Structure 1
Amino acid sequence: MTYTLVVCKPRLPEQYLTQRVELKSALDQAGHSNILYFPVFELIPDFSAMSEIGHWLKQEAPQPNRLVVFVSPSVLEIVLTHLGGWPSNVFCGVMGKQSAKLALDLGVPQSQVIAPTGDGPDESEDSDGLARLLAKQFEAGTCDVLVCKGPRGRVEFPVKLENMGHAVKVLECYDRRVIEQSDLQSNCLFELGASAALWVTSSETIEVLDQQLALKSDPRLTILREQSTVLTTHPRIAAKCRELGYAHVVQIATGIQSVNSWLKSNKKSMDNNKPITATLPPVSPSTATAQPASQWLGKAAFFISVLSFVLILLIAFAGKNQIEKTRMAFGERIQKESTTLDLVKEDFGKSSDLTKDLKTRFDLLELAQKEEASQRASLEEVYNSLLASRTEVSLSEVEQLISIAKRQLYLLGNVKGASIALSQAIELLEGTEKPSLLNLRTALEKDLSEINALPTDDLLKLAISLDSVVNSVESLPMLSSVQATTDQTLAELTEEPATNPAAAQTESSANGSAPSETNSSFSFEQGWTVVKQVAKAVWYDIKSLVEVTKVNSPEVLLLSSRQETDLRNTLRLSLLNARISLLSRQATLLKSDLERSAALINTYFDTQALQVQRAQSVINEISEVQLDLVLPELQATTAALRLAVAGQQGERQ
């Protein structure tokens, strides 16, 4: 049986596209052709609540921690779209992995997202799981919480937070408006029957949907309740569906991935679920004819046969129920495993796409280098042939040199190579007396002067310098590592070094009253002075063990080893992109890649280290290169060459 997915999620206004695009992309990737969008509610944002949220974020918090909790993905997208950016000192609490991914897509940093993972009963993807997670992460009474929700529902969650001692404020950020379903839309749903799989995300949705279908007074509603399958995400929603009379209710995890996994795992199970008929075994002829004269024995045998048949039916029914329960348990387990597998496949697909993109870029770069090498070889070959024969000027050789200059100038942007080719052409035309060749030489000199006026940058040398910076990324010291250069020690910040105890002893000895007293022993005051000086020197050495490093952003010192590795890989990739943009003469992409690389180095690496300073100098040098030059078109040379060739052909005729 092929199911038709009936999406009953609320409809957002047109300006909120993130969830809609993500849902469509997930359904397209899964390849479900049978999809029916059947929204029951339309969400209307409350703009006065948006302004109240902005005022709450700007005011001073009475508690050390601030937290905004979003009870659904819809309210999350509405609020974050109107805010425009997420404050750095506020945590974002959501109810599950789907909302957490949406928060990351809308610009909330991952370190500020608090969401239950759904792994185990303690982190269930609902309000109870989020409440338990907040109780573990924050102490009681240390949070200022703003709960953003819709009308009705989730009333118990703010009460739980207040019981923990937190300061709680509740805002209803949107209102629901029931969408009146047309007869055509309702008939489409009724005709699905057993093939309908309704995806319901709230108890209000299934209740209003059932009320609207009941108003149609269609007997097919009973068939829909008995044969359709309802996919829910919470036991409360499942209980409401059963209360309304829907027979097949399946509870799944949140997210479209869980829906896709359920549809894949149950696509063939219903087709293979055929009824099993039991047949009564025939009565043995020997038993039927054992005592034909005894009528009561025949009745007893018949009664025993009927009783055996009933027992067989009961056993078969019990076995079927047990098999069905086992199949459902295995189906749920397979569903969870397939959901995890789909997520892993998605991450692997992204990594493979990035690898393919990098490989394509490197192949293009190697192809450009090979082409440049071949052009250089051909240029050297022409130059050697010209040196071998200087007695006669060959117009074909001049034409080839001009063609090489054009290729160097327009295809590779090599100003120096084009200048060399035109110079060789001018040298070939030295000593000629033909008017057409004289005009060609004058045009060549004019175009050569325009080319020489252009700035020449050795792109290959700059690319090699950039390669050395890429190779040294692993050894660049970071501010979060122990190799970071310190500004000064704690002792230098507090006081000057103590005086030398030995010098103090010598000075005290020199100031003594008599040589006999100096040789015998120090007085009590002199000894006490020496002890204080030694203690000051020891205390100064202890304070010198503390080194002070000044940073602009404290969070750069809290990077883990994995984050440091990811940061270095990001910097290496940005520098490689800059190298490709440099060799392909793409000024806009080169500027963007260099700015991104410089920002990473200035923020997370020790700028006082020599290696970091060298990398910064290379980046600054490359950023001054002019790639968007207006190259001359060699129009005068082309016109003069055309006249010279025409004149040569006329002389031959």
Structure 2
Amino acid sequence: MSHTLVVCKPKLPEQYLAQRLDLKYQLEQAQHANVLYFPVFELVPDFAAMGEINSWLSQETERTKRMIVFVSPSVLEITVTHMGKWPTDVYCGVMGRQSAKLASDLGVPQDRIIAPTGEGNDETEDSDGLARLVSSQFEAGSCEVLVCKGPRGRVEFPKKLENMQHGVKVLECYDRRVIKQSDAQCEALLSLSNSAVLWITSSETIDALDRELELRVDPRLDVLRMQSVVLTTHPRITAKCKELGYAHVVQIATGIQSVNSWLNSNKKSMDNNKPTPASTPAPATPPAARVGTGQIAQANNQWLGKAAFFISVVSFVLILLIAFAGKNQIEKTRMAFGERIQKESTTLDLVKEDIGEAGDLAKDLKTRFDVLEQAQKEEASQRASLEEIYNSLLSSRTEVSLSEVEQLISIAKRQLYLLGNVNGAAIALTQAIELLESSEKPSLLNLRVALEKDLSEIKALPTDDLLRLAISLDSVVNSVESLPMLSSVDATKDQTLAEMTDEPAANNNTEAPPVQPNQNTALGFQQAWITVKDLAKTVWYDVKSLVEVTKVDSPEVLLLSSRQETDLRNSLRLSLLNARISLLSRQATLLRSDLERSSNLLNTYFDTQSIQVQRAQSVIGEIGKVQLDLVLPELQATSAALRLAVAGQQGERQ
């Protein structure tokens, strides 16, 4: 009977050909009669996860060595194909000879491959052997390790590396997707029965295969479990197969070479596994021999009866002893199980706490990841803005200069037409000419000549700063409330009644002639009278000084009430505001009328000797000298030259 090799390796996408071609070549060399490809899983590469390999290679570390470990040939081919050229300073760790050969075929240098192949080292071809090999070749804590694997499984290997104090990062580079098997494919497998040799490379593969076959509810599945041979590569896979009920499970080394070796060495025994033919019946015994044989058989039966009774008694005694010993053993076992269950319960509580902490840590990491993602988006936006600014700064210098010149010309027009500020317009045009002096393009020479021509016309105009005069007029408007009026007590007085009539008595005193000794008595009364007379003149002068005299042209200004004073101030303020509007709108006739009205109000009703009133009159006089009926230049030559320069620039850009 010929055997059929059932290959259950996972299916890779079409672009990964290294393992597929090697498997096909090895099977052709072995010349197996029958091969059935029965992939249970399809591997889907996770390109986003594999993108982290380059960032891991570029990050700085204090450790002196780097190594990437691949837990299976599939993840090795997917990852190395995605990486392209292998980094020269990075080691490649694999689990056995098949993975080592595949790594070499994919371009990994031979001196960078670390694998427990059994050649040159005595390690087993599994994760334990690779861990021992890493421990012997690298000092503790000297290596930065990236473990590339699939989902689930191999969780103990990174922990072993962490116990060696190496820096470990785990990366899941693909995901498994269960392949829905067709009825024809399952029928082909179930029909093999005892001729099937299943090659299983993971415990998940045999679990998914068994579940798929159980869905058919076919009694041949039990026959397949009892009679087929299952080849595994790890004790964990072997235990899973036996757990599912497969009777003949054999553990071999990894790789198709080990499968071929086992099949070749067991080919004869598998071919000879055929049902034995029925035995031929024995010849009949002669009648004479039957009598002797009966007597011998009767004696033997009596001896066998006694022996059976003795054995029964001994068995009964042994059963009692076993029952007594079993009771004690059961009690001990029960107590041991109780202690074990209590320990497992404590361990379970600790595991639950660890799971809760891991969940909190996962939430925290997710939050941080969201923050980092948001920061990355903001950084990308800022980078785009900076690129846009940089590109704008790299634009043509002529475009920037022409744009600034256009803005300065616009400012000059506003200063000239709206504000009447000749100096401001001249300054703006001067700056535009200075910008054009640094440019050597012929297309801008005409614009520069036009600007110089218009600038000379502007400089020929009177330089009255209307904006400054308007601000001065605003200050006068704001001070109307504080201007002293002739009718107020604060008005300046011309002179007093005493000053208008005579001089103070103290100034008219003359020195008395010297008194002779013999005249003391006669003249004493005369001196006293003179003193009293001078004192009376002084008192009368002080009384007349209380009367103050102010000369006014219109007597009625001294008789204004508070209401009339308020109305006069409001009239003056309104007249000044109208003058301000006329000044800014360049209405010469209205301006003179408003200024004349304001000046008359100040001269008639306000104290002209006050400093504030004199300042207001000076501002009004200065504004009255302004020439508003000037013909301002329209900057036609500059505007025409600017249009030609802009049109020429757009033509060059196209």
| TM-score normalised per structure 2 | 0.44
Please report the TM-score for the alignment, with normalisation by the length of structure 1: 0.44
Structure showing greater Rg: 2
